[in-house]
Amino acid sequence: MGQTFAFGAGSVELTEDGAVAAVVHPVRGCSVLLEDGVLHDPTRYWGKGFVITDRGSHRWDAPVSQRWRSAGIDLLYQLGDLELRVGRRFGDVWTETYEVRNVSAESVAVGSLAVSTPWRDVYESSRESLRKAVHAHVWTGGADSWIWATPMDGSGPGLGLQLTEGELWAYSVESRDGGIGSNSRGHLYLHVTDHFRAPHAMGGQPQLVLRPGDSYRWTWQLGWHDSLADFHATRQPLLTATELVAEVGETLSVQLADGVTGPSSVTSAVPGTQYVEVSDGKVSSRIQVLFHQPLRELVESRLRFVLDRQRPAERGDSRRFSFLPYDNETGLTVLSGAWRDWSDGRERIGTALLLQEARDRGWGDRAELDEALTGYEQFVLEHLVAGDGTVADDSLHESPTRLYNFPWFARFFLGQGDRDRAVQVIDRYYELGGDHYLAFDLGPLLLALSEHSPRMLEHLDRHARSFLEYGDDLPPHEVNYEQSMVAPLLELLVAAHQAGLVDRAELDRRLPWLTAFAADQPDVRLRHIPVRHWDGYWFGLLRLWGDVFPHYWSVLSAAVYLSWPSDELAPIGRAILRANLVNFFPDGSATCAFVYPSAVNGRPAHVADPLANDQDWALVYALRFGLT
């Protein structure tokens, strides 16, 4: 039998072989870790892991020896030429120390060394997510590494893990495939290094070489905290940065702890990301910042690219004015077949909306943009939007109606000055049951159309009240629960509040559901960016599962923060919009998904997908909300 140890106000349950099976705080009453079942089993319990070396690779599970103590346990694992000692101690805080030692007569090069931390980051339903699950916000930036596991409803307490000895340089994901789909984030592994699989990842992965008798040790400490700010108050990082994004030629400041050497500022004359690394002489830490082109320059480069390369000019009818995904490696547009996320409909309309936003600002070549938009409108009317306002999924295949599409096309018609057709599309959306669905941009769109058709406010009122009645039991969409359900919910309620239809208290009650999706890691790809972990598979060419940071629909959170009745969230909203510029490049090319972990299911990641697909929404929202 295992044992259960007190840990602060909660407890930790250990199995008979010393692995961690459950971590419980009485406020929640359930473990913050995955439970046994289809998604999880004892082979991936907390503290188990693997090592890849030039002298063999091993996973560890059952220890060769163990010693129970009054406050914890000591474990020994044999890993070929290496032995691993693990100590777990419990009390007000929970401390774990790992030490790997070379017990052979030859040097051993460690290419990957990882420990399983199976957070309950899973979407069973909105109610189960809000009541039982956590978002795991991970930062593996060397000596300053940490994790904040916060309940999905944004309440306390959360569980904070901070590294107190050694360095962590990566995290990877296992158990992600089509069988699990979009509703589980998978198993997260923390790495001392993942050099063997992804030497480039996260600024570069060190290779750990242990000579005979040498060892490497790292320690982390965990504690319960009421908020992320309370957790950070217990940490002493080597470096911090208030701002992580600037235009080329501008300067970003970095704050260093006493005794730390490294740059106190950084600038760049060329667009792109940079890592800033510092050291106290024993350990190092790094952060990632972005320098981007001026927004107009970036947008006009993107316009040139899509007009030249992302339209199927070879087609013989008005479909030639549509926009398609584009493979940056081959230079070919990508055809959808049965894969609707590559179709000429759906999210691809974001590119047309970008053309409208640029045209309305006098950016780009006005005549060329007018011609392109006129052609696109012809394509839409001939192939996507029926006479009754029903929006098709694409122009080539029969497929079920997808409600997400309707507000996007209504917004396009509004931008073309066709308010009647925009109203017709929205009316059709609601005829099909849209007031029980959280499509994007509905609240602001209904307000914009209400002067032309007062009926739009009736839709807004009915829709908002439907979702107030749902409470925390939101109907599942394409994912059981996700940031792009909560953000549109709040966007809808903010608009209803602006119209005098909903009390401010209803907004405030649900806001923590949205803010809980993100934390403040010192990486431009992560800070304030909501967790999304399936978009690389559905929208990209590599078809990789795993965290996408930033995914362009993170701008939905920005839209809420920048429309909020008070202005305290506006800086976070602007930071999200600016962070999304990282996915656009000086020649106008772009990526739809940057898969952030060092590896997914053992395959190298931390890579920009070669497909330019639907990321132009990030620029649409940047312009819509006046980003400069």
Cα–Cα distance, 83 to 51 (Å, whole number): 11
Q: Is the predicted pLDDT of residue 595 greater than 90, yes or no?
A: yes
Cα–Cα distance, 345 to 339 (Å, whole number): 12
pLDDT of residue 400: 79
Q: Which residues contact 508 (CB under 8 A, 6 or more apart)?
A: none
pLDDT of residue 180: 81
Regarding beta strands 594-595 and 332-333, do their DSSP bridges make them parallel or antiparallel, or are they unpaired?
unpaired
Specify the 3-state DSSP secondary structure of 541. Answer: coil
Is 20 buried (19+), middle (13-18) or exposed (0-12) by CB count in 10 A?
A: buried
pLDDT of residue 179: 78
List the structure tokens of 27. Answer: 């406020």
Residue 348 DSSP label: G
**What is the H or E stretch that residue 353 is in?**
helix 349-361
**Predicted model pTM:** 0.97
First to last CA, the chain: 61
Q: Average pLDDT in the 16-41 region?
A: 95
Q: Average pLDDT in the 193-215 region?
A: 98
- 329 and 610 Cβ atoms separated by less than 8 Å: yes
Specify the 3-state DSSP secondary structure of 394. Answer: coil
How high does pLDDT run on average in the chain?
97
pLDDT of residue 177: 80
pLDDT of residue 275: 98
Domain ranges of the chain: 3-239
Bridge partners, residue 595, by sequence = 548, 607
Q: Which residues contact 315 (CB under 8 A, 6 or more apart)?
A: none
Q: Which residues contact 505 (CB under 8 A, 6 or more apart)?
A: none
pLDDT of residue 29: 94
Q: Average pLDDT in the 132-143 region?
A: 98
Bridge partners, residue 4, by sequence = 13
Q: Average pLDDT in the 559-576 region?
A: 98
Token match 């997908």: residue?
609
pLDDT of residue 464: 98
Specify the 3-state DSSP secondary structure of 224. Answer: strand
Is 36 buried (19+), middle (13-18) or exposed (0-12) by CB count in 10 A?
A: exposed
pLDDT of residue 539: 95
Q: Is the predicted pLDDT of residue 397 greater than 90, yes or no?
A: no
Q: Average pLDDT in the 22-49 region?
A: 96
Using 50, 70 and 90 to split pLDDT, how confident is the model at 178? confident
Q: Is the predicted pLDDT of residue 1 greater than 80, yes or no?
A: no
Q: Is the predicted pLDDT of residue 78 greater than 90, yes or no?
A: yes
CA dihedral over 319, 320, 322, 323, signed as positive or negative: positive
List the structure tokens of 49. Answer: 């892991």
- Tell which residue, 58, 86, 100, has the closest CA to residue 209: 100
Residue 342 DSSP label: G
Strand order across the 326-327 sheet: 332-333, 326-327, 611-612
Using 50, 70 and 90 to split pLDDT, how confident is the model at 410? very high
pLDDT of residue 398: 76
Angle CA 459–462–465, to nearest 5: 145
Q: Average pLDDT in the 513-534 region?
A: 98
Q: At what angle do helices 442-450 and 419-431 cross, to 10 degrees?
A: 130
Residue environment code for 402-426, b if the CB has 16+ CB neighbours within 10 A, otherwise e: bbbbbbbbbbbbbbbebbebbbbbb
Specify the 3-state DSSP secondary structure of 548. Answer: strand
Q: Average pLDDT in the 260-285 region?
A: 97
Residue environment code for 369-396, b if the CB has 16+ CB neighbours within 10 A, otherwise e: beebbebbbebbeebbbeeebbbbbbbe
Residues composing the chain? 628
**Which of residues 205 and 397 earns the better pLDDT score?**
205
- Tell which residue, 252, 251, 255, 253, has the closest CA to residue 239: 255
Q: Which residues contact 216 (CB under 8 A, 6 or more apart)?
A: 99, 100, 110, 166, 192, 208, 210
The predicted-structure confidence for 433-466, as pLDDT tens digits, reads as follows 999 999 999 999 999 999 999 999 999 999 999 9
DSSP assignment of 274-335 equals: EEEEEE-SS-EEEEEEEEE--HHHHHHHHHHHHHHHSS-TT-SSGGGGS---EETTTTEE--
CATH code for 3-239? 2.70.98.40
Q: Is the predicted pLDDT of residue 299 greater than 80, yes or no?
A: yes
List the structure tokens of 58. Answer: 């091993």
What are the backbone dihedrals phi and psi of residue 354, each rounded to the nearest 5 degrees, phi first?
A: -65, -40
Ramachandran category for residue 441: left, alpha or beta (phi over 0 → left; psi -120 to 50 → alpha): left
Q: Which residues contact 522 (CB under 8 A, 6 or more apart)?
A: 139, 141, 144, 237, 239, 240, 241, 244, 287, 288
Regarding beta strands 251-253 and 265-267, do their DSSP bridges make them parallel or antiparallel, or are they unpaired?
antiparallel
- 343 and 394 Cβ atoms separated by less than 8 Å: yes
- Tell which residue, 382, 412, 388, 418, has the closest CA to residue 401: 388
